Chains A and B, each alone.
Chain A
């Protein structure tokens, strides 16, 4: 279950480098290994898609990178390098200064991501003032510019509105503006479109793509929607039971998946107009964290497993 060694486009130091990451949750009944030996790189300006079922560890990996693992979860081994510098060992206060400034995060549900008691303008200026040494008035001007940039009409009026006065799609735009407001180098987008209407999803993905291209921001796009990956990502990483099953350019992974799990995943996507009566189904379910089989975590469900997969 080792990813191919050459998953990094040629070039100098990658923006983000995750090396042999292992995340554990100590519990009364022993330690659960939620993420095991996960390694990948993200280059500057690159969009890396991260797919997998619920519970595969996609969001957890994102939380570990930005330093917001909820205790008792902890990084037990491996490292997270930002521009070649380890950030997983930084003291809390220095990590806080990286959050929002160099690495930002977008959450799944725009309806709950904004504080209901403050205007969106206040939340944006507060974030700008945390990271930039500029005055209130300049920050407010910048907030209005940002709202305009993410496509909110009449931003000079909307800046004084409260979150409940925006629709879901508009709120996700506000969230994107908040994530972008200190010009980070990397955005971790944790299922940014899952909670939205299908018609709005495409708009939000387009917006995210355009903004990141304009600002040369890298994105780690966590999702379980292959359509979103195909549309937006440069490369894709497939996660299964806390491990990386496969990583590579989107086209290659979609058209010639190497790992049987990825093949199953691709086969289970309905294709319009295809003359198929039944979709491919992978028998069984993802193992629980306390019962991950030895060898490749997928081997009990795999139709092609051989001896080496089981040890």
Chain B
């Protein structure tokens, strides 16, 4: 088990280095950084001086090593557009994205599992059929359309929810939260639904398919033949086996919720890192883009690591390796 964790950690470091190389490549290959920094009137000598000062004349591997070293200390330089340290800008925006992603992720997971189990157990009920048909809408409607529809209905017509922004926030240390104010919570509802709907339907359909599969297995038949109650069979035996593949998918989905909150944040003008990234692209703000890339990769790597550890916790076949076998 320890060997497994160490191996996974080493793999994670490799992945991060690869991503760092791509981020570093952004600086080198999307335009000349000097050109972006100095004005039109700068002389060739001044440019060369700046190039020397910034270490841009050093060999590429050395520059990359410097980039990685800085990244490890959380330094990604100054934002071209805002002239502030990139790390500060991102940290300011991160709580908004994380809160949004977490709320919609947890909601999607909880509702998705519950509905998936329900539709699997009551396969032929009219409510199950309805939920399954409705879930097709969630799968097929593009995110921005759902967001715009929600805004039209609840913000424009009914005027019960705010159309954009995060509402009032409360500061706790460096973290700003919108979960403690009424306007903050109200503002969260529509973006969370928009962001979570697709994941919800995906998880629900996955849980349903897995559950139907598990309900057909011999150990479920045997559990019934032993007279265990439906509750014990469905929730004690079937559900736990269903969740193994769900853990993997859910982990990846939570990662992508954070990474691809961009569309939702744009539709609702949600002040998170996704919106920051979109503006960074518009203004070719390379340090911000590079830092965002590294941050998202880090989140994915961490989530994958957690998923692998969860597998160990749930599945004894991985936990106990080759002990006591062979009778």
Contact = CB atoms under 8 A, between A and B. Distances in A.
Contacts of B325: 164-167
A9 to B, nearest CB: 27
A105 B222 contact: yes
Contacts of B59: none
A119 B227 CA distance: 19
B314 interface: yes
A104 B323 CA distance: 31
A96 interface: yes
A194 B323 CA distance: 27
A5 B320 CA distance: 56
A105 B224 CA distance: 10
Interface residues of A, number: 40
Interface string A110-146: 0011111111000000110011000000000000000
Given A113-B222, A117-B241, A164-B316, A101 B227 contact: yes
Interface string A60-103: 00000010100000000000000000000000000011111100
Interface residues of B, number: 28
A170 interface: yes
Interface string B219-239: 101111111111010001100
B316 A153 contact: no
B171 interface: no
| Most chain B CB neighbours (cut-off 10 Å) among A96, A101, A109 | A96
Contacts of B326: 167
Contact of A117 (B226, B228, B316, B323): B316
Nearest to B323: A165
B237 to A, nearest CB: 5
A117 B227 contact: no
A29 to B, nearest CB: 20
Contacts of B224: 68, 99
Contact of B219 (A68, A97, A98, A114): A114
A162 B314 CA distance: 12
Given A164-B316, A165-B320, A104 B218 contact: no
A175 interface: yes
A99 B314 contact: no
B327 A153 contact: yes
Given A107-B222, A165-B323, A96 B227 contact: yes
A179 interface: yes
A100 B317 contact: no
Contacts of B227: 96-101, 127, 130-131, 182
Given A100-B227, A179-B226, A107 B237 contact: no
Interface of A: 66, 68, 96-101, 104-105, 107-109, 112-119, 126-127, 130-131, 153, 157-158, 161-162, 164-167, 169-170, 175, 178-179, 182
Interface of B: 217-219, 221-230, 232, 236-237, 240-241, 314-317, 320, 323-327
27 contacts: A96-B227, A99-B224, A100-B226, A101-B227, A105-B225, A107-B222, A112-B218, A113-B218, A113-B219, A115-B219, A115-B223, A115-B241, A116-B219, A116-B241, A116-B317, A117-B315, A117-B316, A126-B228, A126-B236, A127-B226, A127-B227, A162-B316, A162-B320, A164-B325, A165-B324, A166-B325, A166-B327
